[in-house]
Structure 1
Amino acid sequence: MLHTLSTHQLDTIRLWYLVQHSLSSFYKLYHHYNDLAQATRLDQFETWRKLGLHKNHLQRLQDFHSAESQSQFQRCLDSIQSSCDFILLQNEVNYPQQLSPYDNRPPILFGQGKMDSLLQAQIAIVGSRKPSTHGRQMAYDFAYYLSEQGFYINSGLAEGIDEAAHRAALQQHRTIAVMGTGLDQTYPSVNQMLRKQILESGGTVITEFLPGTPPLQQHFPRRNRIVSGLSLGVIVAEAALQSGSLITAKWAAEQGKTVFAIPGHIYSEHHKGCHQLIREGAILIDHPQQVIEDLALATQWQISAQPTSSTLVEPEQIEIPQHLLPLYNQLDWIGQDLDQISLQLNQDVSTVTAQLMELELLGLSTQQAGMFLRCRTGK
């Protein structure tokens, strides 16, 4: 639960509320105004009109300062404070660096659970809401194996493949759910207990949608871009030709992410979507270790490095010091040289070197062949 909202958070939420989650309208205004508080004043109506905002947004700005609208907005804020454990804005150091390169990144993320999980190496597993028994088992097995290797498994909290992937990763306390509704509700409702288990196991639930946002059809393709954007790669475990998980694969390809597909019987309708993805260039996989190999990650991910259960450090035990978050968020799992990191953070080399040493002592970064990269938690 949030006790207070900062001025910047309030300004961002107010604008997000007025434009009704419209990314194009939000970013038009975001780039026009240096101060978002000014953007939502009633005297800015003409500026909004000149910027070409939708008539619905213009009407909401006009109505916003009425007593009724202010009361509705306050109820929204109250719900945010009661339902959220954290809020991440796109220009904050805690915001997932994986999403930053994309023009359609969510300007705000509302979350429950462990915020630092979003900074960890993630693989998405998606697929049919009505999978075959075989497909469900494959999703579970792949998620269990990869989470055991230290990856966080993220998915969309839907029935079927999503659910199986979340349940498997729960065993290692490494799963993240991205929702297509506000945090004040769960869709589908049958996964309410699964959501509770994710949070109780140290996992994370996030959304870009404000409280009160219903599970509208158009929200789920939007959710899918976050699922793929957070991930190093996307596994489509099972999908028919019209499966919504193919949208996630499309987003992943556009974002430059690696797309994997698990094949099935050639006459099975359940697998035709995966077969189509393979024809279009997705990587065929029949073992989860192939995902690690094809992502070409550093040697820290080799299976031979697996610890025994007695030495495993669970992710919830590792805390990233606040002053090291910008550096840790800048690092990736491939590697960057010292000059590149220093330039990106606009810090001198000596400061970056000292902080890299701190991260290494905490087991959160390592150096390989002159390149600095993140370490997986629980190594």
Structure 2
Amino acid sequence: MLNSLSSLQLDYIRVWFLVQHSITSFYKIKQHYTHLAEATQPDQIETWQKLGIHKNHIQRLRDFHLPESQLQFQHCVALIQKDSDFILTFDHPDYPTQLLPYCNKPPILFGQGDAQILLQPQIAIVGSRKPSNHGRQVAYDFAYYLSEQGFYINSGLAQGIDEAAHQGALQHNHTIAVMGTGLDQTYPSQHQQLRQQILDHSGTVITEFLPGTAPLQQHFPRRNRIVSALSLGVIVAEAALKSGSLITAKWAAEQGKSIFAIPGHIYSEHHQGCHQLIREGAILVDHPEQVIEDLALPTQWQTQQHSEQASKIAPLNTQPVLPAYLSILYNQLDWMGQHLDELVTQQQLDVATLTSQLMELELLGLCTQQAGLYLRCRPGK
């Protein structure tokens, strides 16, 4: 919670409130006025017209000094103070330097948690809101591994891949959420607990949107440009052809960021977006260490200390030693899932024997059942 706002912060908020998050209009106004406080005076309507500001924004300036509009603005300011731990304008020394090169950078960021974290090296993990079990697991594994190496995992607090990425990075207190609404609400609402966990584990939640901003469809591509701009690279963990995460990849490409795509089953619609990205030049990765290598960054994992620890950590694709009869069945399972009758045919076993073996694999954490399908699980998860 902020006890007070500086006069400069209020000037930014006033203009941002009047132009309703229009980046183009904000920067036209900012460039014209030496002192932003002058921009919202009642006699500036003609100047706004000459600047080519949208007529709706000009009308809001006309109405701004009416009692009703002033009450609305004061309510907005009160919510900002209540919900924000920090406010960063783009000329503030703590504003993330990663965003500065871009002409569409957010003029103002409202945040909860520690603002300094935004300056830390970040990798974005994005993907489908309705992923497969395999996709969730991969997003979690990559986030867990990369956060262990010192990277902050940046994502959009959405369902599915975003959620799994935040959860994986939470294990090392290294995650940042970028929201598509104001700080006064959480979208989706069921992620309120996840949002609180991020804050409780030394994370940060940010948005460019004012309080009262609803989760409208057009806000999420805007959020995605911040996710990619903050990050050294973007990993698309799983995505269908029309997935919103491809928009993040598009932003990343325009920003000159590295784009990584994790491949999947060639017949799975869940992975078609990733395969399309790979065809278009994204870097294919099947282990998080490849992301670090491709970014060519000096990180914790390269130190002598970590080398000693690494020998104690099983790689992600290490399989435990299993009896021959269980190994055969485990190798038959895949990430997409198979019906019991398919497995009976393939294994040439009776149903009782097969179900007994599947139960053994489940107890070992190597198999799971979902909607009548048996799926392989990652060893150790």
Range of TM-score over shorter length: 0.7 to 0.9
Letter in 1 for 2:176: I
Letter in 2 for 1:235: I
- 1:59-138 matched pairs, under 5 angstroms: 59-138=59-138
C-alpha distance in structure 2 between counterparts of 1:305 and 1:31, whole Å: 50
C-alpha distance in structure 1 between counterparts of 2:268 and 2:20, whole Å: 41
Q: Which residue of 1 aligns with 2:206?
A: 206
- The structure-2 alpha-carbon separation of the partners of 1:299 and 1:245, relative to structure 1 and needing over 3 Å to count, comes to closer
Structure 1 contact 292–301 (Cα < 8 Å) conserved:
no
1:266 correspondence with 2:275: no
- The structure-2 alpha-carbon separation of the partners of 1:305 and 1:22, relative to structure 1 and needing over 3 Å to count, comes to farther
Letter in 1 for 2:44: Q
Q: Which residue of 1 aligns with 2:249?
A: 249
Q: Which residue of 2 aligns with 1:6?
A: 6
Instruction: For residue 129 of structure 1, give the secondary structure of its aligned residue in structure 2.
Output: coil
Instruction: For residue 5 of structure 1, give the secondary structure of its aligned residue in structure 2.
Output: coil
Q: Which residue of 1 aligns with 2:185?
A: 185
- The structure-2 alpha-carbon separation of the partners of 1:82 and 1:33, relative to structure 1 and needing over 3 Å to count, comes to same
Cα deviation per residue 1:21-44 (whole Å; 9 max; x = unaligned)?
A: 000000000101011000011100
Instruction: For residue 259 of structure 2, give the secondary structure of its aligned residue in structure 1.
Output: strand
Letter in 2 for 1:295: L
Displacement after TM superposition at 1:305 (Å): 4.3
Displacement after TM superposition at 1:128 (Å): 0.1
Instruction: For residue 205 of structure 1, give the secondary structure of its aligned residue in structure 2.
Output: strand
C-alpha distance in structure 2 between counterparts of 1:305 and 1:186, whole Å: 40
Letter in 2 for 1:28: K
Instruction: For residue 306 of structure 1, give the secondary structure of its aligned residue in structure 2.
Output: helix
Instruction: For residue 87 of structure 2, give the secondary structure of its aligned residue in structure 1.
Output: strand
1:220 correspondence with 2:251: no
Cα deviation per residue 1:252-277 (whole Å; 9 max; x = unaligned)?
A: 01000000000001110000000000
Of structures 1 and 2, the larger Rg is shown by 2
Instruction: For residue 102 of structure 1, give the secondary structure of its aligned residue in structure 2.
Output: coil
C-alpha distance in structure 1 between counterparts of 2:208 and 2:91, whole Å: 15
Gaps of 5+ in 1: 310-379
Structure 1 contact 178–205 (Cα < 8 Å) conserved:
yes
Q: Which residue of 2 aligns with 1:47?
A: 47
Structure 2 contact 155–178 (Cα < 8 Å) conserved:
yes
- The structure-2 alpha-carbon separation of the partners of 1:193 and 1:286, relative to structure 1 and needing over 3 Å to count, comes to same
Cα deviation per residue 1:320-371 (whole Å; 9 max; x = unaligned)?
A: xxxxxxxxxxxxxxxxxxxxxxxxxxxxxxxxxxxxxxxxxxxxxxxxxxxx
Q: TM-score scaled by structure 1?
A: 0.80
Structure 1 contact 161–238 (Cα < 8 Å) conserved:
yes
Structure 2 contact 144–168 (Cα < 8 Å) conserved:
yes
Aligned length: 309
C-alpha distance in structure 1 between counterparts of 2:294 and 2:37, whole Å: 46
Structure 2 contact 152–169 (Cα < 8 Å) conserved:
yes
Structure 1 contact 149–303 (Cα < 8 Å) conserved:
no
Gaps of 5+ in 2: 310-381
Letter in 2 for 1:3: N
Q: Which residue of 2 aligns with 1:372?
A: none
1:57 correspondence with 2:57: yes
Instruction: For residue 109 of structure 2, give the secondary structure of its aligned residue in structure 1.
Output: strand
Q: Point out which structure has higher relative CO (alpha carbons under 8 A, 6+ apart).
A: 1
Instruction: For residue 176 of structure 2, give the secondary structure of its aligned residue in structure 1.
Output: strand
Letter in 2 for 1:240: A
C-alpha distance in structure 1 between counterparts of 2:307 and 2:2, whole Å: 36
Displacement after TM superposition at 1:301 (Å): 4.8
C-alpha distance in structure 2 between counterparts of 1:299 and 1:285, whole Å: 18
Cα deviation per residue 1:281-331 (whole Å; 9 max; x = unaligned)?
A: 00000000000000011365526443999xxxxxxxxxxxxxxxxxxxxxx
- The structure-2 alpha-carbon separation of the partners of 1:187 and 1:307, relative to structure 1 and needing over 3 Å to count, comes to farther
Cα deviation per residue 1:3-59 (whole Å; 9 max; x = unaligned)?
A: 010000000000000000000000000101011000011100000011111110010
Two-structure CA RMSD over aligned residues (Å)? 1.2
Q: Which residue of 2 aligns with 1:152?
A: 152
Q: Which residue of 2 aligns with 1:235?
A: 235
Q: TM-score scaled by structure 2?
A: 0.80
- The structure-2 alpha-carbon separation of the partners of 1:45 and 1:118, relative to structure 1 and needing over 3 Å to count, comes to same
Structure 2 contact 150–300 (Cα < 8 Å) conserved:
no
C-alpha distance in structure 2 between counterparts of 1:95 and 1:308, whole Å: 37
Letter in 2 for 1:298: P
Give me the identity figure in percent.
Answer: 75
Letter in 2 for 1:154: N
